[in-house]
Amino acid sequence: MTMMRGTPVYFEPKWLSGVKTEKVDAYSTGIVILEIFNGWRHFEVSETEGDRIILNLFTKKAEEGQLVDIIDKHSENMQFYKEEVIKTMQIAACLLAAV
């Protein structure tokens, strides 16, 4: 039996609507990866309404081919290893798409 545990912002959206799957771990892992490389929380209150959710911003930048724009600008390591960061964000996208 699967029970809901953890922080709601990391739950797969279908989970919150009552559909329980084992894919919730893939979704939350993908979101955490994006948070690490972006330097923001999942819900960033300082951004505009359309960009509050990292997933929306990530999707927009991926479509534009501008993932480099969302790499944490305050992290020298993230900036130095941009190519690796982008590849890892693409892996996160695969985890999120698996849901």
Tens digit of pLDDT for each residue in 57-78? 888 998 999 999 989 999 999 9
pLDDT recorded at residue 69: 92
pLDDT recorded at residue 55: 79
* 39/46 Cα distance (integer angstroms): 13
From the centroid of its chain, how far is CA 74?
A: 18
| Structure confidence by residue, pLDDT tens digits, 8-55 | 555 555 555 566 666 667 777 888 888 888 887 655 544 454 444 777
Domain boundaries of the chain, sorted by first residue:
24-97
Nearest of 14, 12, 11, 56 to residue 38 by alpha carbon: 56
Tell whether the model's pLDDT for residue 82 goes beyond 60: yes
* 71/74 Cα distance (integer angstroms): 9
CATH topology of domain 24-97: Transferase(Phosphotransferase); domain 1 (1.10.510)
82 close to 71: Cβ distance less than 8 angstroms:
yes
Q: Facing residues of 53 across strands? A: 43
Q: What φ, ψ does residue 43 adopt, rounded to 5°?
A: -110, 105
Q: Kindly report the pTM of this predicted structure.
A: 0.67
